[in-house]
Structure 1
Amino acid sequence: MELPAQRAAERHATKRQPGAWVEDVVSRLVRDNARRSGPGAAWRVLVAFGVKQAWVCLFGGLMVALLIASHLGYPRDAALPRYDALTIAAVVIQIALVALRLETWDEVAVILMFHVAGTGMELFKTAVGSWIYPEFAYLRIGGVPLFTGFMYASVGSYITRACRGFDLRFAHHPPLAVTAALSVAIYANFFTHHYIVDLRYPIMALIALAFRRCTVYFTIGAAQHRMPMLLAFFLIATFIWFAENLGTYSQAWLYPNQMQGWSLVSFGKLGSWFMLTIMSYVMVTLVNRPRAPRH
């Protein structure tokens, strides 16, 4: 006779994980793809890749959507300033991700590091006039509204969720001591280039040297695909650059050349985002250590 405790254990074992529906969609898209060839098979993999990407960047996507929605529809004379509403909404999203088991507490600890590092850089960059936040906020430190820390945290959330969602694995990954040193140099240069020579290009050269042989393997359905790690970093940086254009269009923050009217963010910012992506990835490896590819 089956005992209630046994039945409960079986129900718990078979309980679907959060986000399992995404894997169901991906599996249906790439089902029997091994027997297909040509553009049709490649298109199905590309669509499945896009679905998984949209899911793992849930936090960042919601934050960008909030920036646009608040720009288009938030009352200018509301008692609660727009920036504060964004901060509260970001806190609610973060709590929901943990409550729904879409992020672990270890990952939240890394994301908190992004808050601290990002807010520190924001305080400095706004003080030297690199960009400004044109609206008032109660929830702020100096001239930096607190929602900005969540914008940096969304990058960390994306990378941590991608490590799990795509089962990321790496071949010829550089030693963590090397990547940590590069990360420290990147963060320091964000500050020091205002006073001494800008070392971004030498640092980029060292990044290219360290990751020149590194390949990232990612899983879609049952198949494992691969990509040069440097290309992956560049694609992430490009995506962030597009998101930044949406952020400045929503007037959440502005560069000096955008004060008289919106214009495209300089392509030169791609280099900054490329280095920030490296730094973000290294911080995530403190929790999700790089693993070898599956055979």
Structure 2
Amino acid sequence: MRAGLETRDELKVITLFHLIGLALELFKVHMGSWSYPEEGYSKVLGVPLYSGFMYASVASYLCQAWRRLKVELIKWPPFWAVVPLAAGIYLNFFTHHFWIDVRFWLAGLVIIVFWKSWVSYKVNGTLYRMPIALSFVLIGFFIWIAENIATFFGAWEYPNQTEAWSLVHLGKVSSWLLLVIVSFLIVASLKLVKGKDAVRATTSQSF
């Protein structure tokens, strides 16, 4: 914040994502979904504290892109549809270990809820736009590429990588896709609430 990279509100969002990500990491490592085999001084229950920063970096990217690219939401769904969907996606990361995995049902709901939603952004003064669902897929895919790089250099490993490194299963794209959706929905909801508060403050001052 002192360096001017993030505002105070963005720092709050990034901190929130760090805690959300760390909670998910602690659970997933405990369940054996992946592991951090290297020794470390900052490990808690087998999870290095930096793992939370990986999720926070996604939030940081979204906040930076929102501000620098002048992101605008077009036909954004109502809160009563967005909030339960985000909560359901996040909870499924935990509950599928004990119950059925409903990620594909949730993905279908995402398509239905955001069928008419678009995002607009500016690059070098030129306005572009794309379907929200497509932006989810693209961000999730590039995170999957980054995950392959990270596992190759031993940042963490999946059970099938204990003997020798192998490409992260393409199915992991769906996990990152859903995580990106949760991240985007939280950031978008907070931005919209902040925007409404700013409008109310301006309106009250004018009177």
TM-score by length of 2: 0.91
Deviation at 1:222, TM superposition (A): 2.1
Q: CA deviation at 1:180?
A: 1.2
For structure 1, the 5+ residue unaligned runs are 1-97
Q: 2:23 aligns with which of 99, 109, 120?
A: 120
Choose the corresponding residue for 2:90, options 179, 187, 197.
187
State the Cα distance separating 1:172 from its structure 2 match. Answer: 1.1
Whether the aligned pair in 2 keeps the contact of 1:106 and 1:287 (CA below 8 Å) is no
- Aligned-pair identity in percent equals 43
Task: Give the superposition deviation at 1:249.
Answer: 0.6
1:208 is aligned to 2:111: yes
Distance in 1 (alpha carbons) for counterparts of 2:175 and 2:127:
30
Alignment partner of 1:156 is 2:63? no
RMSD: 1.2
Match in the other structure for 1:106: 9
Specify the SS of the correspondent of 2:190: coil
Deviation at 1:124, TM superposition (A): 0.7
Find the counterpart in structure 1 of residue 77 from structure 2.
174
* Paired letter, 1:279: V
Correspondence 1:129 to 2:32? yes
Residues in 1 aligned to 2:70 and 2:80: alpha-carbon distance in whole angstroms? 23
Which residue in the other structure is 1:9 paired with? Answer: none
Residue from 210, 223, 231 that aligns with 2:134: 231
State the distance in 1 between where 2:112 and 2:3 align: 40
Structure 1 residue 221: Cα displacement: 2.0
Q: Which runs of 4+ in 1 moved over 2 A?
A: none
Instruction: Tell me the equivalent position of 1:69.
Output: none
The amino acid of 2:122's aligned partner reads T
How many pairs were matched up?
194
- Whether the 8 Å CA contact 1:107–1:287 is kept in 2: the answer is no
Counterpart position of 1:198? 101
Question: Which residue of the partner structure matches residue 251 of structure 1?
Answer: 154
What's the secondary structure of 1:263's corresponding residue? coil
SS of the aligned residue for 2:89 comes to helix
